[in-house]
Structure 1
Amino acid sequence: MRRNRVEKKIIQVNERVPLLRGIPLSIQHTFAMFSASVLVPWMFGISPSVVLLMNGIGTLLFIFMTKGKAPAYLGSSFAFISPTLLIMSNPDMGYEYALGGFIVTGLILIAVAVLIKFVGTSWIDVILPPAAMGPIIALIGLELAGSAASNGGLILSDTYTQIDPKFVAVFIITLAVAVFGQVLFRGFAAAIAILIAIIVGYVAALCFGLVDFSAVTQASVIEVPNFSAPKFSLDAILIIIPASLVVISEHIGHQVVTSEIVGKDLLKDPGLHRSLAADGISTTLSGFCGAVPTTTYGENIGVMAVTKVYSVWIIGGAAVFSMLLAWIGKASALIQTIPSPVMGGVSFLLYGMIAASGLRLLVDEKVDYSRPRNLALTSVVFVTGLSGAYIQIGSVQLTGMALATVVGMLLGLIFAIIDKLGIANDASEAK
């Protein structure tokens, strides 16, 4: 009976949800992605409205191209921050030249997707076995853990030069509601536990005087997205292109962890070629409209892991809300008044759930750590991702999960060659 009750809480990928329940579930996803997605355009000095609009359009396009089988929200990619700022620092170039680079990056993703369409995805199982893929998935959450703690005011930084007890209190209140809500809430309340935690945290922030409404009063009721046209420069394109490797690595990792969460192999159905092509087309369109490159968002993957609501209809609803926020200035400004410790408290749980999904993959696949290769793969991938090591490619640093993915793939390929040669000392133990 207990197992049956748990199964009933799951809302499957293609399952529709009644409107009155679907709206708060979609808003929950919108809140999860909002702060990170508007941070990127803020760093570039452009209006977030066009970015929110293109994020929404890109997400709907993604759902359509993956035949409604792959739940994912496309938000602003952080991989392009460093190269874009480098381009903008050049007096002979500006943001419009970065847009040209974004378009080329999108086309590269599409080209890789076409290649995958013909060669398939079986190579992923060979060069990224569970012993490597598990820690790579875990790193998606673990490398974001510091960001969650920083937003909560728990770490001293350029933003927080001292620990503020009010920030810590709001962080703890938000996190406590999010964590204990998973255990204590019942019925529909359990599905919107993250949204409830944000609301409670926001009320606590109001009580502590941490909410500033000045941006809301200054914002326009209707805000027209500020579209801009791209310009092309070979120098700018060469600066931007290396970030493509980061996005491709990130995309594969996100699709694998989402597959683990929803219980379906999304790399095969609807296929990695479809999801990667959708990401590429979304990035290309964003470049033509003056927005930023898009990528599947770990925050929304975390929401699905926590709530067990996987419906693409809910993700689509979040995309529609994002598009509406692009035009309603005051609504967008109101969401931006949510203090960082509130989102930090929520993210603390969401990022941890992503990391736990990687460990879950190791358990589900029954990875045998008595085999030296498995122990070596997991160890090297974890240390590479957490050590801070990086490879500089132009203006882009390949680090964290992206670098760990490349290292894991190289090791997996070498082990595959060793197996082909029949010289592995554990060949008799291979499954």
Structure 2
Amino acid sequence: MKKDFVDVHETPALHKLLPLSLQHLFAMFGATVLVPLITGLDVSVALLTSGIGTLLFLLITKGKLPNYLGSSFAFIGPIMTVMKSQGIGAAMLGCMMAGVLYLIVALIVKISGVNWLNRLLPPVVIASIIVVIGLSLSGVAIGWAVNDPVLSTPLKPVYSLKAIEIAAVTMFTTVIAMIFFRGFLSVIPILTGMIVGYVYTALRSPQWIDMTKVHEAPWFVTPSMWMNKHFVTGQVLDAFTSSSAWLAALIVAPVAFVTLAEHLGHLLVTSNIMQRDLMRDPGLHRSLLGDGVAIMLASFLGGPPSTTYGENMGVLAITKVYSRVVIGGAAVLAIIFAFVGKIGAFLMTIPHPVLGGVTVVLFGIIAAQGMRMYVEHKIDFSHKRNMVISAIVLVTGIGGFKMDFHEIKFSNFLAHLTIDNIAMATILGVFLHAILPNKEVAFGESAAELHKQVS
């Protein structure tokens, strides 16, 4: 029987490799660039560290985990807090400490194994978290799809029928490419949708595509000139010798405990997409180590801390192309674009309605993977236990339930720490599974016997 996917160790033909890698680059680009724009970090450094971090992640996970690493949103608040009081060096030092925490947890997992995690996270909890990861992002996708990208602000969105029109054209082009196209075109539906959406925007609403920065940007910046302009490594090194910087950095580091839950959820999503146990091979310890090393590198160079990206998991699910060479190609392109000013500036001109059109599909596909897991594990929702756990995880996660600690006093600083909705939903799911009786029903009919053996 002919398989319908491209596995991690396989390499597509060269004429297919570039568009497949570009597709992953486009999927992550908007969100990865948005974090440095909000925090005041350098966009070019974010692209560079995103690419290098992804390559390191692939190396550490033995090329068995095809995840792309982009900028993490969870660090935005703490970074801005510390930058305001102590400067960028202290903020990046805190991010480096968060990376160190990843390494410590990776060591603990390496020593203790993952059986305890399997007991804590039965299929009913995992599937619910996967649905949350997809649908909790739906507000972002819809916001991009329905609002005017020029007139809107984060505090005052401006509804636009033309934005909906462009998003719809992009979305339906993506769907048509997925369902009806054959051969290679069927595996680049995101790229196809974005190209058609961009051209349609240029025809219907050209004022939404501002080419000014493209004209102003240089074609190429030499590495030495680039490093002098963009890197903040000297300020990070200075922070190592400052006691006040170390104290301020402790505000940022605990965010790692929030992103660890996000990392675990993303690993479970990827495992479900690829239909294999990535928790054991290459192992959770390797994925944590890879992410931690990437975070430390990004922080040292002045880029935002990294995380695995839901957008790129959506691409994996849609295309069934899991090739590590494709992900590595996207990483190399990100590195190149960090030095080629006009290309990076051009990608910044992609209108939000176009991004909204494709992310509606991407985020929905992730949620559908969670529902697929309910079915495959034969989760019985006639049991009130399963009903209660999934209900609470879904509503708190999708509804955006989070805990904001706005004024945690630490030495002379007022910290702002947020435990986001995905982390909260995960914590609640694990807690409910731990305290409620009849644990075996949470593993579904197909996994209940295995759970008994593991226990």
Q: Which residue of 169, 175, 181 maps to 2:171?
A: 175
Q: In 2, Cα distance between the equivalents of 1:20 and 1:401?
A: 38
Partner of 2:349: 337
* 1:117 and 2:110 correspond: yes
The SS at the match of 2:358 is helix
The SS at the match of 2:419 is strand
Once the 2 structures are TM-superposed, how far is the Cα of residue 349 of structure 1 from its aligned partner?
Answer: 0.4
The answer (yes or no) to whether the contact 1:13–1:262 under 8 Å persists in 2 is no
The SS at the match of 2:74 is coil
Once the 2 structures are TM-superposed, how far is the Cα of residue 419 of structure 1 from its aligned partner?
Answer: 6.0
Q: What amino acid is the match of 1:310?
A: Y
Instruction: Report 1:69-148 matches (<5 A).
Output: 69-90=64-85, 93-148=86-141
* 1:13 and 2:17 correspond: no
The SS at the match of 1:51 is helix
Once the 2 structures are TM-superposed, how far is the Cα of residue 377 of structure 1 from its aligned partner?
Answer: 1.3
Structure 1 stretch 373-382 or stretch 302-311: which is displaced more?
373-382
* 1:22 and 2:20 correspond: no
TM-score, length of structure 2 as denominator length: 0.88
The SS at the match of 1:392 is strand
Q: In 2, Cα distance between the equivalents of 1:228 and 1:168?
A: 41
The answer (yes or no) to whether the contact 2:99–2:293 under 8 Å persists in 1 is yes
* 1:404 and 2:425 correspond: yes
Q: In 1, Cα distance between the equivalents of 2:324 and 2:36?
A: 26
Structure 1 stretch 137-146 or stretch 220-229: which is displaced more?
220-229
Partner of 1:370: 382
Partner of 2:393: 381
TM-score, length of structure 1 as denominator length: 0.92
Q: Which residue of 228, 244, 247 maps to 2:232?
A: 228
Q: What amino acid is the match of 1:253?
A: G
Once the 2 structures are TM-superposed, how far is the Cα of residue 411 of structure 1 from its aligned partner?
Answer: 1.8
Q: In 1, Cα distance between the equivalents of 2:42 and 2:196?
A: 29
The answer (yes or no) to whether the contact 1:127–1:411 under 8 Å persists in 2 is no
* 1:294 and 2:306 correspond: yes
Partner of 1:248: 260
The SS at the match of 1:80 is helix
Once the 2 structures are TM-superposed, how far is the Cα of residue 363 of structure 1 from its aligned partner?
Answer: 0.9
Structure 1 stretch 58-67 or stretch 122-131: which is displaced more?
122-131
The answer (yes or no) to whether the contact 1:127–1:408 under 8 Å persists in 2 is no
The answer (yes or no) to whether the contact 1:97–1:236 under 8 Å persists in 2 is yes
C-alpha distance after superposition, 1:130-168 (max 9, x if no partner): 111111011111110000111113599635643223222
Partner of 1:213: 211
Partner of 2:412: none
Once the 2 structures are TM-superposed, how far is the Cα of residue 371 of structure 1 from its aligned partner?
Answer: 2.2
Q: In 1, Cα distance between the equivalents of 2:145 and 2:399?
A: 23
Q: Which residue of 26, 29, 33 maps to 1:34?
A: 29
Structure 2 residues without counterparts, runs of 5 or longer:
409-415, 450-455
Q: In 2, Cα distance between the equivalents of 1:162 and 1:42?
A: 21
Q: In 1, Cα distance between the equivalents of 2:152 and 2:121?
A: 36
The answer (yes or no) to whether the contact 1:65–1:274 under 8 Å persists in 2 is yes
Q: In 2, Cα distance between the equivalents of 1:27 and 1:311?
A: 14
Once the 2 structures are TM-superposed, how far is the Cα of residue 98 of structure 1 from its aligned partner?
Answer: 0.6
Identity rate, percent: 42
Q: What amino acid is the match of 2:211?
A: F
Once the 2 structures are TM-superposed, how far is the Cα of residue 237 of structure 1 from its aligned partner?
Answer: 2.1
Partner of 2:413: none
Aligned-residue CA RMSD (Å): 2.1
The SS at the match of 2:418 is strand
Q: Which residue of 189, 193, 196 maps to 2:189?
A: 193
Distance verdict in 2 for CA 1:161–1:74, change over 3 Å: closer
The answer (yes or no) to whether the contact 2:98–2:252 under 8 Å persists in 1 is yes
How many residues of Structure 1 are paired with residues of Structure 2 in the alignment? 417
* 1:204 and 2:208 correspond: no
Structure 1 stretch 150-159 or stretch 169-178: which is displaced more?
150-159
The answer (yes or no) to whether the contact 1:150–1:157 under 8 Å persists in 2 is no
The SS at the match of 1:158 is coil
Q: What amino acid is the match of 1:145?
A: S
Q: Which residue of 318, 334, 338 maps to 1:322?
A: 334
Q: In 2, Cα distance between the equivalents of 1:358 and 1:269?
A: 21
Q: In 1, Cα distance between the equivalents of 2:448 and 2:211?
A: 61
Q: Which residue of 123, 143, 152 maps to 1:150?
A: 143
Once the 2 structures are TM-superposed, how far is the Cα of residue 113 of structure 1 from its aligned partner?
Answer: 0.4
